[in-house]
Structure 1
């Protein structure tokens, strides 16, 4: 996994006020602690806040959503207990619009489409399988994609989710023969050098739950020549 993980000195903060902090997660960071025991991004953000504002004692930080460890991009945290349930409500009501970018090797047959599958998670291998018909214990997954750039070897897709299922983008794109670059788990033929996958939470738009102002934030792409070619 990426050697350049986040710490309080290199944290990429893209938006911050008294209520919310939005950061650009590096591939390799885990958002919350897990069985690996590796330091989570949430702890890094707490250290950043404690250091920046010279706060005594414990720092409150609410985790609103997650990104898979090998992915990069936007993560929102709540800085107060007041705003945490409001942000949770925005996610549940789908009033937060998240746009992802994915680099795939095989360009989809259609330049723009809506994918509908029934996703079933296998806890044993931490993988979801996309079915075209409903199966036992499956959940409906819907996403919309469009081709936004062709590179020499890869295609850049922009993706908007209607549902938020386990490994949804990874499983659905793999099911149409367009696995994400570096995603060995879902059928790509080789790993990225840093063990990342080329899936990036690029843009987020929502109405601030306290100030009622529009918030729109974009995350710079990872420092990688292929990603840089996407924005050149």
Structure 2
């Protein structure tokens, strides 16, 4: 992958990739995001600078902000745009189990996680699909299960201080007769995913011990205990 500092080098024709000439993913106009926002009259976007479009998009936006006391200030924010995503908790209510994945996450490894291997609910980016279509695709690719009816749980901005991503949360039952492959993700995308089945009670305990430290997974497990398929069962 290109280094971010190289992604904005001008081409021979003088254009900037991602701005006025296509970047490596064929995109242009990436410096226009946010300029047409009108929903909040207390925010006036002044300038959007594209910092990187090596794969996802990093921008620096300068805007005027009106505070609650009526005064205005000029602010700068960097935002990281990787698209929106979806995640699903696969559960077997009869057997009281959940189906998770384990995969290496370098960002957590470099920030204190012992080995970078996180237990997570199946998840992925929407790309050009709607959320339900995307999560069906990701569940099959990662776990090998073709899921049936899905329940929409909620939509969440996971890191609103800097990341634009909104994640759509779902839950769906799974059963052995709906397994179509070994799962494991797409090898062509460098994915190396282990499928992990756990008793639901153990998964909850693993939140307290830190063995499950992924935010979306914790949120779905706690939802399942409070108002989802395992609510009212006790421990």
TM-score of the pair, normalised by structure 2: 0.24
Structure with bigger RCO (C-alpha 8 Å, 6+ apart): 1
Looking at CA atoms only, which structure, 1 or 2, has the larger radius of gyration?
2
TM-score of the pair, normalised by structure 1: 0.24
